[in-house]
Structures are given as C-alpha cells and as structure tokens.
Structure 1
Amino acid sequence: MFWLLFLFVSGLKVLLIPSYKSTDFEVHRNWLSITHSLPLSKWYFEDRSEWTLDYPPFFAYFEWLLSQFAVYFDANMLKVENLNYDSRTTVLFQRFSVIITDLVYAFGVKRCLESLGIATKYQKLAGTVSLLFNVGLLFVDHIHFQYNGFLFGILLFSIALILEKKFIKGAFLFAALLNFKHIFIYVAPAFGVFLLKDYVFNKEIREIVVVKFLKLVIAAGTCVALSFGPFIDQFPQVLSRLFPFKRGLTHAYWAPNFWAIYNFIEKVGVSVLKKSSGVSTSSGLVQEFDFKVLPNIPPMVTFLLTGLMMIPCVLKLWKSGTKDSFLRAITICSMTSFMFGWHVHEKAILMTIIPLGLSSLSDFKDAKWFIFLSIVGHYSLFPLLFPIDLVIIKYGLYISYICAINLLYTRVFKGLKLSSFEKLYLCGFAFLTLYEYFIQHVLRLTHRMPFLPLMMCSVYCAFGVLYFYVNYYSEFVFDKRGDGKVKSKRK
C-alpha cells in the first residue's frame, strides 16, 4: 500500500510539470550553472544573477551533483550568463530532479512509521496519506518549485534513527541536514536536549559521559568539516550569504505569524493616525522598513524572543525525555521559530506540520491539532500559487487532502472533532476565498488595493496559527501528555 500510494502521488507530480513555476526555478537553475561552470572558490562570490547561492555547502554540492546529469539534457542551462533560461528540457530536468529526489522523503516517511511502531491498519494508512500526500509539499516543491521533500526526508531519517536509539547516526544525519539548509536550526534545541537526556546522561548506556558527548561532537564536527572545509578561506563571505539580515522583519508576503499581526497593527495605526508610512510593509518588496507607530524590531530582538519562548519547551523535554515529548518538542521549537523569527517565509509552516503528523498518529489531541493546523497552514500557502489558472488545481488538491486526512483520522480515533469555536474560525476561509475571487472585484478594489487579499489571508491565518501555538504549547508544558502517560483513544 505504501509504495502504491507513492507511485500514485509521483504520477500526480508528473501531471503538475507544465504548471506555473516561481522565481525559485531560476534560483536553482542558476545554482546548477554556478556549481558546474565555476571553480569552487567562486561559488559564493558569483553575483551576475540576483539569485546568488545562499544555502550551506552541502546543498551546493547537491546542486553540483545534479549538474553532472543536467549537462546531458541541455548544456545551455549550465552557462552562468544564461539568466532566466527555461528551455523545455531544462524544465523537464529540474521538475524530474525534484520528483526523483523525493524518494529520500518516501524512505524517511517509511522509516519513521516503522520506528514509531504504528500498529493498526488505519494508523498506517493515516500516516502514509498525511505524509506522502502532504499537499504543502505538492504546492511548494512541484508547482512553486523547491527541494523540500528531499530535505524533509533527511529530517525524518534522523528522527527515525534517534527513536531507534542509534544516536550517533541520527546526530550525524541531523548535522548533515543543517549543512544542506540552515533553517533546520529551528528544531536543533529539541534534538540537542533529547540527545543529552536520552543518550549522554542516560545511565543505562554504560559509557563514560564525556566519551558519549565527544562522540556527538565528533559526529557533528565531521559534517561541518566536510561541508565548510573547502571554504575555510572564504568563511566570512559564506556566512554573509547564509544570513542576509538586510531583508527585513517579514517577507514580501507576510508569513502567518506574530509579526504579521504586528505589521497589521502598524498598518491600522498609520491609517488611524494618518501618518506618512513611506515604503509600505505590504508593498510586495523584500527590504527593511521603518515603522511609524510601533517600535522597529531589529534581528537581535527576534533571536532573543525566539530563544526565550523555547525555554519552557526544552525544560519539559529534559524533564520527560520520552519519544512522544521529543516529537512534540520538534513541533513546538519549529513553530516558535516560525512565530517569532526574523524574515520567516510562509513555506516554513511545513516544518511544524510534518513533525506534528508523526505525533498525531498515536495521540488523540495531536490528531485534532494536526487536522486544524493542516487546514490553516496549507491555506496560508495559497498566495504562492497566484495565477488564476491554478485555482482549480490548488483548491482541488487542498480539499482532497483535508477530506482524506479527516476521514482517516476519524477512523483511527473515536469522537475526534474540532470545537465549535474552531469550526467557526475555519468557516472564515470560505469568506476569504469569496472575497479574493468575487467581492474584491465587485467593490473595484483590485487596482486600488491589490495586496488586500494577501494581507487578509496572512493575518487571518496568523490568528489561527497563534491559537494553535498557544494551546498546543500549554498542553505540552502543563499536562502529562509530554510524559507519554495519556493513552490514545484509538479504535
């Protein structure tokens, strides 16, 4: 059943090949050309394109590896000067490269389900469908264009290894993941604390504590050395690419987090007080802005706030140290970074939804929150797929996915349902859709306020994400689910 569903989803991905592709397609084509045509010493200095290489070295090596096959499809795509090159063979190669590397994700899903010891038929089916058919990955990777499935596959493999108590291998793989895409540092506190609790200071593992700690350090250090070693002479330049702090507090489209609400309050304040706002935070530009009503937020404030908000989570994880609490801590750490981080992209919501999908298979409350966040979080990705000819595709995939997981999870758990308040909130998405495709045009606001539907989507989703965050976090910290003592209500 697992591989049959994988083949079905892969076929669906093939059908999406001709669909809209974002600027990220050119980003990765440019990286192919940089790593193939230039010496390694120039990879992080090349700037003929605005889409400069800004991922860690392991991902650059990954692009180089892909380029060794790309040359047989269309060598012109590997010329650095061929900006915005998108021949038919280039499109086919890049699209299929994402589909093929999704095998890593599939094996990661399968390994995690095995490591969790999923027992019942409907549990296995729910886990397989919710993860393999994750509609957010279809949106982001196979329409918008990225390689998140490949990266999440590595994350799931590392989780599975740690759950199986293969701590050094799991730590090595997670360290490798950080050297593919540094955004996964969001969940590093959960990994670090759990490894210390369940491995380094675990008295049942009869090794000297210092030796165990050194093994973890060597595993992580080996990855860093392999990744950054060839770039040691240009380390400051690489870091400047990895952490570009001049992009502003929020992305062009506000990710549905705390700062989206903060931006919205600023917009209302500017309007009420009739202040001149200069360049607007909702102008669709990626840059820093000066707030006129609320205080400006520098990067350091977001880092400190994110770190402080993670403290109760990691303390709870240290106290309990169970597999269940580890999975929930990954979810909470990723969501904390999503809520309060600097220049967060909307796509980062998948870093919360996918780990939550693992814990949802064995806990009644987690299952409810997984359904709720899947509805809110995946809807918040719709602005990425803005062309009008994608309306049927994105709504069709979205509704199919939500119906599928709702049906399966209600078979796994008795009495699984959302509260009246939650249902009422979710009904608001029908109004958002109606406004964007009908009311906005009837009111003739399309040209006067072109970004209003985006702001409405971002802010409305932000309240839903905040509601999930507060409730899920408090349940983890204050009740005993994090200790693995609450039994699931499975059939």
Structure 2
Amino acid sequence: MEKKKAKKTTHVGDSARDGAGAGAAADADSDSPWRWLTHRGLLPTLSFVSLFGLLVRAAVSLHPYSGAGTPPKYGDFEAQRHWMEITINLPAKDCKLLMRWTVLCSDVMVFFPAVFYFWFVYTRGSSRGGERCDAAWHLAMLLINPCLILIDHGHFQYNCISLGLTVGAVAAVLSQKDLLAGALFSLALNHKQMSAYFAPAFFSHLLGKCLRRKNPFFEVSKLGLVVMGTFAVVWWPYLYSSDALLQVLSRLAPFERGIYEDYVANFWCATSVLIKWKRLFLTPKLKLFSFIITVSTCLPSMIHQISSPSSQGFLYGLLNSSLSFYLFSFQVHEKSILLPLLPASLLALDDPSLYKWLTHYGLLSMFPLLHRDGLLLPYMTLNALYFLLYHVPRDKRDSEVTGSSAAYPILSTFSVCCYFGLHLVYLIMHPPEKYPFLFEALIMIFCFFHFALVAIYTNKKQWTLSKHMLSNKEKKLI
C-alpha cells in the first residue's frame, strides 16, 4: 500500500523539493487562504485566476504606452502598428483600443492555453495534502507575472505569443511529446528570434533523450524533419526569391545598434563603466567576444542535459541558457529579462525564492524604461500585488533558503534597503549635470550583480539535481 501511495504522489517537481509530512501538508492546506477557491474544484480555480489575470491586463492597458505623445520617434506601439500595416494613416489615438485588444486576444489564445497545458502536466498525478492550494498559487504566479503584463499591456509588445509557444513546447517535453515540442518551439523562434535564448536547453535535452533510445539516429532525424518542416511552412512566402529571403534575414540581427542599448543590466553594459567596449573594439570583434562567452556559459548546462536529461534539469537548463544570453549576448534590451523570468516562473512551485528575487530585480531593471513610458502607477500597483500574492498564501515559503545561511538575513535586508532606496533616489532626486544617467547606471549595476548571483546559483542547482534525486531515492529505500 505504501509503495502504491508513493507512486501515486509522484510529480514532475517532486525530485527538486523535500515533501513535508502528509499531516503537516494537510494542515497547511486547511489554513491556506487559497482553500476558499480550491475546494470548489478545478474549473472555478482556473476561471477565477484567469479572469483576475485578464482584469489586471485590461487595467494596465488603460495607461500610456511606449512613446505616447513623443514624436517623431514614438515607440514600440507605433512600430508595431506600422509593422502590422493596420490603420497606417490614422492617428494612434484612433486605433489604441484595437491594438490593446490584439495583445489581450493574443494572451487569451496563446499564452493562457499554454500555461494551462503546462500546469496540468506539471501538477498531474499528485494528491498530497496542500497541493491544490500550491497549484492554485502556482497558476497565479504564471498568469499574473508583473513584468510580462507591464511590457505587453503597458509598454506594448506581443511577447505573450512567443513565450506562450515556448511554454507549450516545455509542456510537450514534460509530457514526452517531443515532436510537438519541436514544432511549437520552432514557431516561437520564428515569431521572435529572442526565443533563441532557450535553444541550447531544448537542443541539449532533446538530444540527450534521443541518445538514450533504441535508435538514436532515427529519433534525431524525426525531430530534425519536424523542425525543418515547420520552418519551411513559416518561410514559404519568402522562398520564391533569394533577395526577399536575404532582406528578411538582414533584419533579424540589428548588429549596427551596438552590443547593448540604453542601460540594460548585463555584463557588457555594467562593465562599460570601466571598459569602454564600443570605443575599444569594432562590432565584428564584439560579436565574436559575445558569441564565445555566451556559448561558454551555456555549455555546462548543455553538457548536463546531454549526459543526464531530466524534466527538472531541463527547466533549470532553460533558465541557465536564457540567463547566459541575457548577460553576455549581443544587443540585449531591458525587456529581455522576460525570457529568464519564464522558466523561473515555471519553477516557482519548487524554487519560490528564486522566482521572487528574479521578479523583483527584473522589475527594478525595467523601472527607468517604464517610468519614461508613464507607467509608474501600474508599476507600483503590480509590484504590491505580486508581493501580496506571493507572501499571503504561505508565510514559510522562504524558510528553506533563509535557514541555509547565517548571513542570508543580513544580505537580504541590505539588498531590500538598496532596492527601495534606488526607487526613491530615482524619483525624488536629480542627477548631477555631468552624469545625467547616474541613477540608471546604479540601478543597472545593482541588478546585474543580482542576476549574476542567480546565474551562479541556478547552474550549481542544476548540477546538484542528480545528487539530490539519488539521496531522495536512498531515503525512500530506508
């Protein structure tokens, strides 16, 4: 009976966390504020969290967008409007509602279904006490991501499409539908080339799985055909002419913009305070440097998944590869932090502190951008909402990390003070005339330091997963 029960409670994330006793978990379930919702069943839980997420998005969309009222450059809203050739000759005010509506529809049609798919796959097969409340909390973390909402529905972009396709591909991998995963991720890559941040993780994990099957060559060939077939369908309108194809390809990598833009919290921008990369090296050299460092920092995670692929290792691999691209690749934007935040949100149930810190500092790293867009009120509101959603359900959610080091409370307190201090300084003080972007630089360096620490932690965590799994198996045998 005990063996059957243990098998029944197996769950994709169980390998990365130590389960509490069934009685303690049941008590936690009965005491959780989420119980009023989860005890009503699955459909009401999905409906309520989804509707709340849509209301938050709609509320944010009522605020200004990127470049509103700032001719002649405008911003992402105007760029997307022209790119889609919708009402080109009409003023932006006449089509704002339509454009906002298209982003909301993209969320409903792509991102939400993908999140539901992942959520079902990730939480299926487990009936531990307290899991229903944890699962509802996880769904809220996935759908009410403040960074994604502020960028897509405030600043204005369509990241929800490529990120939704990526989440669907991840869910397909976890449910052993590798061909579907290949097709979905290929669509994500074609929608937004920044999805390449996840490519090393998908490649290494799927290759590692193929190498462990009876006919590795056949398995790799199937995946290759699916990927090439998907690309062929998407690119079919441009294949009639080599000139048309080359024109599209030339626009995919804007190298002429330089190795970084504005004040993004990555290695190149943070170190440019001391090393003037753009002055010392030409673009070809910088492209080579960024390529070598990005690939080198991705390799440990890739080697891990090729040698010992696992579901949890794959999720950490996604986070590690996207962090490597964010920190070291060429032409990174502030908004690119959305890509590492995606796998961090998928891991939120197993590593909540990681998601909390990455979200808070991801928000801070985009604060100057969002402030320029006139999105201060939704920024502060969503920051507070995220804090409440994260902490109210489980006050002990951070207990494991807090107890892991005696220095943690001191460092954490100092970091939080700097976090709020930088917000206040940016809002109420004026920088020196000689250094007009001093505060942006301070925020950028501060966030880069935290992102680098997260990258070190997650790489170490991925490589210790196999040891953790082994120790769990030994405990079960005892």
- Change in Cα spacing, 1:190 to 1:246, as seen in structure 2 (3 Å) is same
Q: Aligned partners of 1:487 and 1:374: how far apart in 2?
A: 30
CA RMSD of aligned residues (A): 2.5
Q: 1:229 aligns with which of 229, 236, 239?
A: 236
Q: 1:12 aligns with which of 51, 56, 61?
A: 56
- How far residue 26 of structure 1 moved from its aligned partner, in angstroms, is 0.6
Q: 1:112 aligns with which of 113, 118, 125?
A: 118
8 Å Cα contact 1:322/1:483 also seen in 2: no
- Change in Cα spacing, 1:371 to 1:400, as seen in structure 2 (3 Å) is same
- How far residue 393 of structure 1 moved from its aligned partner, in angstroms, is 2.4
Partner SS state of residue 405, structure 1: helix
Q: 1:260 aligns with which of 255, 269, 283?
A: 269
- Change in Cα spacing, 1:406 to 1:291, as seen in structure 2 (3 Å) is farther
- How far residue 156 of structure 1 moved from its aligned partner, in angstroms, is 0.6
Count of matched residue pairs: 407
- Change in Cα spacing, 1:344 to 1:408, as seen in structure 2 (3 Å) is farther
Q: Is 2:426 aligned against 1:436?
A: yes
8 Å Cα contact 1:383/1:454 also seen in 2: yes
The more displaced of 176-185 and 367-376 is 367-376
- Change in Cα spacing, 1:141 to 1:485, as seen in structure 2 (3 Å) is farther
8 Å Cα contact 2:53/2:144 also seen in 1: yes
Q: 1:99 aligns with which of 80, 96, 104?
A: 104
- How far residue 165 of structure 1 moved from its aligned partner, in angstroms, is 0.4
Q: 2:185 aligns with which of 147, 160, 174?
A: 174
- Change in Cα spacing, 1:121 to 1:455, as seen in structure 2 (3 Å) is same
- How far residue 122 of structure 1 moved from its aligned partner, in angstroms, is 2.6
1:193 is matched by which residue type in structure 2?
S
Q: Aligned partners of 1:482 and 1:260: how far apart in 2?
A: 36
Q: Aligned partners of 2:204 and 2:468: how far apart in 1?
A: 15
2:202 is matched by which residue type in structure 1?
F
- How far residue 450 of structure 1 moved from its aligned partner, in angstroms, is 2.9
Q: Which has the higher contact order (CA 8 A, sep 6+)?
A: 2
- How far residue 475 of structure 1 moved from its aligned partner, in angstroms, is 2.9
The Cα offsets for residues 24-45 of structure 1, whole Å up to 9 and x where unpaired, read as 1011100111xxxxxxxxxxxx
Q: Aligned partners of 2:152 and 2:385: how far apart in 1?
A: 18
Once the two structures are superposed, the pairs formed by residues 355-366 of structure 1 within 5 Å of their partners are: 355-362=343-350, 366=351
Q: Aligned partners of 1:405 and 1:133: how far apart in 2?
A: 11
1:91 is matched by which residue type in structure 2?
K
Q: 1:403 aligns with which of 353, 370, 388?
A: 388
Q: 1:468 aligns with which of 448, 451, 454?
A: 454
- How far residue 422 of structure 1 moved from its aligned partner, in angstroms, is 3.0
8 Å Cα contact 1:324/1:484 also seen in 2: no
- Change in Cα spacing, 1:406 to 1:353, as seen in structure 2 (3 Å) is farther
Once the two structures are superposed, the pairs formed by residues 224-373 of structure 1 within 5 Å of their partners are: 224-232=231-239, 233=241, 234-252=244-262, 254-266=263-275, 289-291=278-280, 298-362=286-350, 366-373=351-358
Q: Aligned partners of 2:383 and 2:96: how far apart in 1?
A: 25
Q: Aligned partners of 1:5 and 1:480: how far apart in 2?
A: 31
- Change in Cα spacing, 1:485 to 1:410, as seen in structure 2 (3 Å) is farther
Partner SS state of residue 20, structure 1: coil
- Change in Cα spacing, 1:262 to 1:413, as seen in structure 2 (3 Å) is closer
Partner SS state of residue 402, structure 2: coil
In structure 1, the partner of 2:47 is: 3
Identity of aligned residues (%): 24
TM-score, normalising length: structure 1: 0.77
- How far residue 481 of structure 1 moved from its aligned partner, in angstroms, is 5.3
- Unaligned runs of 5+ residues in structure 1 are 34-66, 68-76, 268-280, 282-288
Q: Aligned partners of 1:313 and 1:128: how far apart in 2?
A: 27
- How far residue 211 of structure 1 moved from its aligned partner, in angstroms, is 2.2
Q: 1:376 aligns with which of 326, 340, 361?
A: 361
- Change in Cα spacing, 1:165 to 1:482, as seen in structure 2 (3 Å) is farther
Q: Aligned partners of 1:360 and 1:414: how far apart in 2?
A: 15
8 Å Cα contact 1:324/1:482 also seen in 2: no
